[in-house]
Amino acid sequence: MADNSTPPSRVEKAGAGIEDDIVVLNERLQSKADGETIDHDMRHLEALLFAAVEPIDIETLRERMPDGCDVGALIARLARDYGGRGVNLVRVAERWRLQTAPDLEPYLVDIKEAPRKLSNAALETLAIIAYHQPVTRPEIEDVRGVSVSAGTIDVLLELGWIRLRGRRRTPGRPVTYGTTENFLAHFNLEQITDLPGRDDLKAAGLLDARLPKDFEVPTPMMSMDVDEDPIEDETTDGEFVLDFLEDDEKLALDD
């Protein structure tokens, strides 16, 4: 069947071509403007993360960044760009920081700060607090099967890995302990539930292969327990918050 439609005139073709060129030009100009803005915002974000002395939360980043920029999208892009480099952008405890890539650790061992070695008692106490929090001192002793010295607790408090969470709503109002954001940052955990479970610990050879079938690894929680009152609600008037159960030596001195 013959096509009887009238072919477009040269004027119509020229007009259509001009319109197409205008659309393409506008898209290019828009892309260039957006690209310049993104590059500036990326440099701004990168400088903030580099200068931060500790992991920085996204709310603080939004306050420091120009109005209208998508901080979440910029962080995602920056994390992708740094993914295969010697420095990575990682999230720890709901905050962001730049850190050296884990696979380069052997090459930096000579210039990195030597970590403080903890005693077995301190490591066991820290593990019990991490997995059983909120937990009281008598409960820690019940799990370990031996008494916990005040010095062990003091070391973990000094490192900033544990904190006084609150007071249990039981006779004597014993203090409860829990982990801190510094604990998460030190062990590169995004949240406390990222701690290894039973299968992970068993695969790593940290648990006996002949464990009872009913053996379970508790799921740690950061939220305030229903039977616990926060320490912040207490008025101490500058005095230290003391545990209900102290060492026998301290009790003797008080008497």
pLDDT exceeds 70 at position 86: yes
| CB within 8 Å of 97: residues ≥ 6 apart | 49, 52, 54, 55, 56, 89, 90, 185
pLDDT exceeds 50 at position 142: yes
Q: pLDDT by residue (tens digit) across 40-54? A: 888 999 999 999 989
Q: Which tokens go with 239?
A: 């005095």
pTM reported for the whole predicted model: 0.53
105 versus 219: which is more confidently predicted?
A: 105
Q: Which tokens go with 82?
A: 């740094």
Q: pLDDT by residue (tens digit) across 226-237? A: 678 887 655 444
The most confident of 36-50, 81-95, 183-197, by mean pLDDT = 81-95
The structural domains of the chain, ordered by start, are 26-103 (1.10.10.10), 120-239 (1.10.10.10)
Of 87, 88, 95, nearest to 191 by C-alpha is: 95
Q: Which tokens go with 137?
A: 């001192």
Confidence (pLDDT) at 250: 44
